[in-house]
Structure 1
Amino acid sequence: MKKIAFIVTILFTATHIYAQKIGVVDTNYVLSKLPQFKEAENRLNTQVTQWQADLQKLQAEYERKREAFENEKVLLVGDQLKLREKEIVDMETSIRNTIGARFGTNGEVNQLRSNLTKPYQDQIWNAIKTVSTKNNLGIVLDKSNNISVIFLDKKYDYTEAVLNLLGKSLPKVEETKTSIPNRGGRPMNSNKNGKLKSNSASKKVAPIESIQSMDVKGN
């Protein structure tokens, strides 16, 4: 008897899920079409480019001083040698800490990006909720979140409906500017992941080419 009841429950649940009307929305596409978001994103990209340039300058200065130290250390003795070696090690640590603080997993770039997208994500969610209610949707999938959609009839794609609803409710670009702080000249705090302990001044700092090509549009 329990077995029969269990089977009936499974069949009822499966039938209920199957009966739900499903819709699909591409939230990344919606974001890319919002002029307010694109304007703020461009300013974020500008800030990241500036930080990359600052790191390039620090890297070049470090390489210059490290090379000079390697060439001259045979002539240095006592405290003079220790001071020059400490200067190189401190520069190396500063560069690694800056990379971690700005470009690490919990760094400033990701924090600024999160602050940038959250207000628009909230508005998109509200628009999706409105469209779902209007079209009696029981389930809405976001096809921008690694969901493999093999086939999709256009009548079940509500991306444009959400975008049109947002277009009517969003304020003008001038009213939604997001402030991106410029901290180019301000020293960064140490980051747990970025901190380096080194006992040798001859150790090179890892190149930052990967940071220079970083895609600031998301993880």
Structure 2
Amino acid sequence: MKKLALIVTILFTATHICAQKIGVVDTNYVLSKLPQYKEAENRLNTQISQWQSDLQTLQAEYERKREAFENEKVLLVGEQLKLREKEVTDMEANIRNTIGGRFGTNGEINQLRSNLTKPYQDQIWNAIKTVSTKNSLGIVLDKSNNISVIFLDKKYDYTDAVLNLLVKTLPKEEESKNNNTRPGVINKGKNSSSPKSKINNMQKKSAAAESAAELKISN
């Protein structure tokens, strides 16, 4: 009896899912077509480039200090030896803290990336909801969110519909420029979630930068 009930439940669920009209939206594509988002992303990338340059400067200075200490420590004694050794270890700790604080999984880069998408999340969600209601969609998949779509009939792709609706509701580009912070600086705000693929890509880049920098220190 229980087995029969389970089969009925599975069949009912499958029938219900099949009865739902499914649509697909590529949120990454939508974001890439918003001038305001692209401008903010450029400012973020400028900030990241500056931080990478600063880190390279710190690493170069650390290598110079460490090499000098290794060459001269046989001549150093007592307090002088301790001071020089502490200087090198403090610089190494500073670099590791900088890598973790800015390029780590929970570092400033990922926080700024999340804040970057925050102003557009609600608008994208509302646009998807409006398009879903208009087209009687029961399920909407995000094509950019690690969803493998082998084949998609164009009539089920509502990306352009969401983008067109979103463009109409967002402020004009000129108004957005007036409200933006100065170039190269992103305001920090309360952290929030963003389209997963954006965050995942940033985490992969941050993790790679962190690993590369730590490897350089250890060598």
Q: TM-score, normalised by structure 2?
A: 0.80
8 Å Cα contact 1:32-1:38 kept in structure 2:
yes
Q: CA deviation at 1:12?
A: 2.1
Q: Give the match for residue 190 of structure 2.
A: none
Q: CA deviation at 1:3?
A: 4.6
Q: Give the match for residue 206 of structure 1.
A: 215
Q: Give the match for residue 133 of structure 1.
A: 133
1:162 aligns with 2:162: yes
Superposed CA deviations along residues 32-70 of structure 1, whole A, max 9, x for unmatched, are: 000000000000000000000100111111111111111
Q: CA deviation at 1:72?
A: 1.1
Mind listing any 5+ residue stretches in structure 2 that lack a counterpart?
188-212
8 Å Cα contact 1:24-1:159 kept in structure 2:
yes
Q: CA deviation at 1:111?
A: 0.3
Aligned residue pairs: how many? 187
**Residues in 2 aligned to 1:84 and 1:3: alpha-carbon distance in whole angstroms:** 75
Residues 205 and 115 (structure 1), Cα distance of their counterparts in 2 relative to 1, 3 Å cut:
closer
Q: Give the match for residue 143 of structure 2.
A: 143
Residue identity opposite 2:114 in structure 1: S
8 Å Cα contact 1:92-1:205 kept in structure 2:
no
**Residues in 1 aligned to 2:134 and 2:119: alpha-carbon distance in whole angstroms:** 23
Residues 4 and 69 (structure 1), Cα distance of their counterparts in 2 relative to 1, 3 Å cut:
closer
Residues 136 and 43 (structure 1), Cα distance of their counterparts in 2 relative to 1, 3 Å cut:
same
Q: How does 1:81-100 map to 2 (within 5 A)?
A: 81-100=81-100
8 Å Cα contact 2:23-2:137 kept in structure 1:
yes
Q: CA deviation at 1:152?
A: 0.4
Residues 99 and 178 (structure 1), Cα distance of their counterparts in 2 relative to 1, 3 Å cut:
farther
Mind listing any 5+ residue stretches in structure 1 that lack a counterpart?
183-203, 209-219
* Percent sequence identity over aligned pairs: 84
8 Å Cα contact 2:44-2:186 kept in structure 1:
no
Q: TM-score, normalised by structure 1?
A: 0.80
8 Å Cα contact 1:26-1:143 kept in structure 2:
yes
Q: CA deviation at 1:2?
A: 5.1
Residues 84 and 205 (structure 1), Cα distance of their counterparts in 2 relative to 1, 3 Å cut:
farther
Q: How does 1:8-87 map to 2 (within 5 A)?
A: 8-87=8-87
**Deviates further, 73-82 or 117-126:** 117-126
Q: CA deviation at 1:10?
A: 2.6
Q: Give the match for residue 119 of structure 2.
A: 119
Residues 4 and 65 (structure 1), Cα distance of their counterparts in 2 relative to 1, 3 Å cut:
closer
**Residues in 2 aligned to 1:13 and 1:97: alpha-carbon distance in whole angstroms:** 51
SS at 1:206 equivalent: helix
